[in-house]
Structure 1
Amino acid sequence: MAFLTFSFGAISVLAFAPFSWYLVPIITLMWLLRIWKDSNPLTALQQGWLFGLGFMGFGVFWLRISISQFGGVDALLATISTIMFITVVAAFFSFAGWLSCYLTKNPVIRLSITIPAAWGLMEWMRSWVLTGFPWLALGYSQIDSPLRSFAPIFGVYGISWILMLSIGWLMLGIVYWYQKCRAQAIKWLIMALLPWAIGWILANAAWVVPYGKSLQISIIQPSIPQAIKWEPQQLIPTLKTYRQ
């Protein structure tokens, strides 16, 4: 089970660019929610950490390259630093699992309320604790999905929460379906589809209107090679390039 949890965490990265398979979290997180819905807080903590290891490990491995090539750190030390960082950040997923299972033992309440809420809280905390690392917030994976319509209202963490709500409700629908409780199953399945339907309806909503005189701005990218961009002796030439 540990290997599968780690693997599903790693696969979740496919939801983000350049792949942008925004439906992937529905599959991968259903595995995690399947565990969390009946777990004790300690097991939820452990499984959350394993999921986080796979998720962050495959999602931010590039840090090793940045630390080594552009930070001037030895490759081995950069690798160790990256592994330690991933291990610490994965603890936020542990917190979400522990909190959601500590608050209630009821699987329905866990899937429909506490897990989505704990996940949203976890992502928000991850964005500012110890200066923050908001990379790979689930909401960013939905930039091409109907859920993106909620961004002007709730922001990226609100989208993460809505996505987790949808997955939790979908999980409840499947559970009730296999328990032969068809009416309950249909209710939860409809609720799971509701955020996507509302997002689709809101896709063409105009949240802002032009006001006053328009202002034209430009963004300049001088295309200075990364290999020399941060060298001290390159500072003045870089500033001259921007001025020109």
Structure 2
Amino acid sequence: MARAPSTPGLPLALQALLAVAAGVAQAASLAWPWSGEPLWWLQIASMAVLAWLVRPHATVSVSWQRGAVIGGLFSTAWLAGTFWWLFISMHTYGGLAAPLAVAAVLGLAAFLASYYAAMLGIFCRLALTSKALTAIIFGAFWLVAELARGTLWTGFPWGAGGYAHVDGPLAALARYGGVYGLGAVAAMLAMGAVQLRRADFRGWRLWAVLLALGAALALATVDRFCAIHLCSTPQQRPAPSLSLELLQGNIPQDEKFQSGSGVPLALKWYAEALLDAKADLVVAPETAIPLLPQQLIPGYLEGIQQRYAQGPQAALLGIPLGDEAQGYTNSVLGMSPATQATPYRYDKHHLVPFGEFIPPFFKWFTAMMNIPLGDFNRGVVGQPSFAWAGQRIAPNICYEDLFGEELGARFIDPAQAPTVFVNFSNIGWFGDSVAIDQHLQISRMRALEFERPMVRATNTGATAIIDHRGVVTHQLARTTRGVLKGEVQGRGLDAQSGWAITPYAWWVSRWGLWPLWMFGVLVFALAVWARNRGMGACRH
């Protein structure tokens, strides 16, 4: 068999350049830098370029080494282009030298890209002649790489490709497979598209496949429409509205923990806003109170608690808790007449590496930065919700809303499942960057997966109200100080209203991400079997 290049007419250097450009496009698709909006078509187009570079042929296929290199370049460019704003936290606020901060971002991106490089190398090694199987295998291997990035070493799945689809035609699938399932489907479609030839359109098989895919997507869309609009159960009563006031202090990050500037400003502004609020529920963001209770002026926290000890209002407040003996937690305090004796408390479970805990062997790295670091205790997964006004309100802090499988643990009992999610964040560490827009799309995806509203209270943005359809209904201007007022309708209050548990919430609450892992393993076994049955493409 004659040797032939994997992409005829293209030198390796040009293939590498295309892979990097496609990776940058994938990053931009998650939140377009000039508008903050996700572009689902750009995500599929960028994946199609990658798929085209590694696609097998009947007579020749890409070597596993080249596949790994192309996959690594694409993923490194994509991930570095996604979370480049880590540079701001390390250099601008942490004082780390710019070259070291750039190296840290690129090093993290390259490390996480190794999962994709490995899976694409294996994909090329098991290359098949069947176009349908090739598309399925490509999507499944991409899924495995995404799962590895999202779970290993505590997981950092920020920027998963599925987040680009919150406004696209594939959004209807979120209630079934979650963001990882969406990403796998997009990868399958990309590989399927680049393998098409003009002759394929003259046969009935392609049209049968397209008809089946269109019918499945149409059914999923109709099913989702009926679920969110209750069109199949008109006897169910609509949920009552809950009025909200979401506080955005816009405390400058370089002053937030300074006793002579940011601390007194935060204490004064948040106390006034909490005392003057009129809504059913008032929410102050992550570490809105930047001091431990024992460090506060005597009577400060007690005065706020007394304000909500009676009457028709409640508050959720971000504050650090604990002491040197018991350890510290990044927490939320809930205040209402029902919690006067025992205040509600939520402790963050999924801690941020280097910010809330220092990984082994990395103290030398954190020692080079001037950032107030902590070694916090972890809360447990599936903590109780805050009960107020007939709602079960489930807090999550910072990037905890990135881990849908952990939020989903609360749905195993429909009677205790959240009716509203509330995210408490401080994205001020990353400036006025695309990180704000990316985090907003992450919260929207959780709303799509669980069909629950997601309320966001942040220091600098995006402070917003997202309804159970994943639509942003209210949003405060970023990097401004103010109060966002609006209403939200909880979902799944009781049996009469309908529990409204999505398929994704049902299976992820019981088995976590294991069904997706098993799908990837089964497809890998299928690929090995098909290869051994003589369905593989020739190698070079």
Kept in 1, the 8 Å contact 2:173–2:220? The answer is yes
Pair 1:152–1:217, CA change in 2 (3 A): farther
Mean Cα displacement is larger for which, 86-95 or 138-147? Answer: 86-95
Of residues 24, 41, 58, the one that matches 1:10 is: 24
Counterpart check, 1:243 vs 2:263: no
Distance, in Å, in 2 between the alignment partners of 1:81 and 1:213 is 48
Q: Which amino acid aligns with 2:22?
A: F
Shift of 1:163: 1.7
Q: How does 1:111-190 map to 2 (within 5 A)?
A: 111-172=134-195, 174-175=196-197, 177-178=198-199, 182-190=203-211
Shift of 1:218: 3.9
Shift of 1:240: 4.5
Distance, in Å, in 1 between the alignment partners of 2:223 and 2:247 is 34
Q: Which amino acid aligns with 1:3?
A: L
Distance, in Å, in 1 between the alignment partners of 2:238 and 2:224 is 22
Shift of 1:185: 3.3
Counterpart check, 1:24 vs 2:24: no
Q: Which amino acid aligns with 2:144?
A: L
Of residues 110, 125, 131, the one that matches 1:87 is: 110
Q: Deviations over 1:35-67 (max 9, x none)?
A: 333223222211100111221222222221221
Secondary structure of 1:220's aligned partner: strand
Q: Which amino acid aligns with 1:242?
A: Y
Q: Deviations over 1:188-233 (max 9, x none)?
A: 4445545554454345232587788765554321121223224465
Distance, in Å, in 2 between the alignment partners of 1:102 and 1:193 is 31
Distance, in Å, in 1 between the alignment partners of 2:122 and 2:216 is 25
Secondary structure of 1:229's aligned partner: coil
Secondary structure of 1:206's aligned partner: helix
Counterpart check, 1:229 vs 2:256: yes
Higher share in helix: 1
Kept in 1, the 8 Å contact 2:22–2:47? The answer is yes
Shift of 1:11: 1.5
Distance, in Å, in 1 between the alignment partners of 2:175 and 2:157 is 18
Q: Which amino acid aligns with 1:20?
A: P
Pair 1:57–1:194, CA change in 2 (3 A): farther
Shift of 1:112: 2.8
Shift of 1:242: 2.8
Pair 1:112–1:123, CA change in 2 (3 A): same
Shift of 1:157: 0.9
Counterpart check, 1:205 vs 2:232: no
Partner of 1:61 in structure 2? 84
Specify every segment of 5 or more residues in structure 1 that has no aligned partner in the other structure, as ranges.
none
Distance, in Å, in 2 between the alignment partners of 1:200 and 1:170 is 22
Secondary structure of 1:227's aligned partner: coil
Specify every segment of 5 or more residues in structure 2 that has no aligned partner in the other structure, as ranges.
1-14, 57-61, 231-235, 273-540
Pair 1:190–1:98, CA change in 2 (3 A): farther
Pair 1:205–1:34, CA change in 2 (3 A): same
Higher share in strand: 2
Q: Which amino acid aligns with 1:4?
A: L
Shift of 1:99: 3.4
Of residues 47, 52, 56, the one that matches 1:34 is: 52
Secondary structure of 2:49's aligned partner: helix
Q: Which amino acid aligns with 1:205?
A: C
Distance, in Å, in 1 between the alignment partners of 2:215 and 2:116 is 26
Kept in 2, the 8 Å contact 1:12–1:25? The answer is yes
Q: Which amino acid aligns with 2:269?
A: T
Aligned residues: 242
Q: Which amino acid aligns with 1:187?
A: A
Mean Cα displacement is larger for which, 94-103 or 206-215? Answer: 206-215
Structure with bigger gyration radius: 2
Distance, in Å, in 2 between the alignment partners of 1:134 and 1:225 is 27
Q: Which amino acid aligns with 1:64?
A: F
Pair 1:149–1:216, CA change in 2 (3 A): same
